Amino acid sequence: MLELYAIADGKRAPGPDDPAAVICMDEFGPLNLQPHPGKQWAPIAAGKGEQAAPRRRRRRATYKRPHGVRHLLAGYDLSTDRLYGHVKVRKGRTEFLAFCRYLRSLHPPGVRIAIVLDNFSPHLSTRTDGRVGAWAAANNVELAYVPFYGSWLNRIEAQFTALRYFALDGTDHESHREQASMIRRYIAWRNRHVTDPRLRKVIRRAETIKRAKVA
């Protein structure tokens, strides 16, 4: 897997059987409809404030959550520095393979790609379900799995930190559609502003913290 990152970073030329593009993939969630703490919870106010109009709103209680959860299936293409994501109700093997087909479509069929994954069970082939391995073999895809307890090696993790910081912190969405719309808007903004100093700062900090946890 480190060899794949070396290819993606341009530190090593790909060999005849090596992938030309590397995509890091993982699930983000579960996405609940609940208040997310963040700086936005303290509205700007002048002076000491008044008892009838406090400076800080009280977060609503969420004892009951009847709307279920959603999951973001996301892929980070290292060759183009672009993030992709689909919000789904489930994150089983069927949804995983559907998203992999989408990632495969980002590059021509003749271009071999590698998808970096963790060891979540829907990412694996089993004795009773060999769809994952069969699909990869038939579509010129190499599946690279990070070691157990080594999810920090997946470079999409830092991208999730930035997504949480820019799109979810300080929010309290009323519906999953509203929350999913915010996530899609962030991904579109992020792909248009890959060199934004604020974005790069959050990502660099997240990468440093994840490396330090296992140092």
Most confident of 53-62, 70-79, 171-180: 70-79
pLDDT higher than 80, residue 192? yes
List, for residues 79-122, the tens digit of each pLDDT value. Answer: 999 999 999 999 999 999 999 999 999 999 999 999 999 999 99
pLDDT higher than 60, residue 207? yes
**CB contact at 8 A, 18 and 147:** no
Q: Where does the pLDDT of residue 54 fall: very low under 50, low under 70, confident under 90, or very high at 90 and above?
A: low
pLDDT higher than 60, residue 46? no
Residue 60 has a pLDDT of 66
User: What does pTM read for this prediction?
Assistant: 0.85
Q: Tokens standing for 36?
A: 């997310």
Domains of the chain in sequence order:
2-31+66-213 (3.30.420.10)
Most distant CA atoms of the chain, gap in Å: 70
pLDDT higher than 80, residue 212? no
CA–CA dist 70, 178 (Å, integer): 12
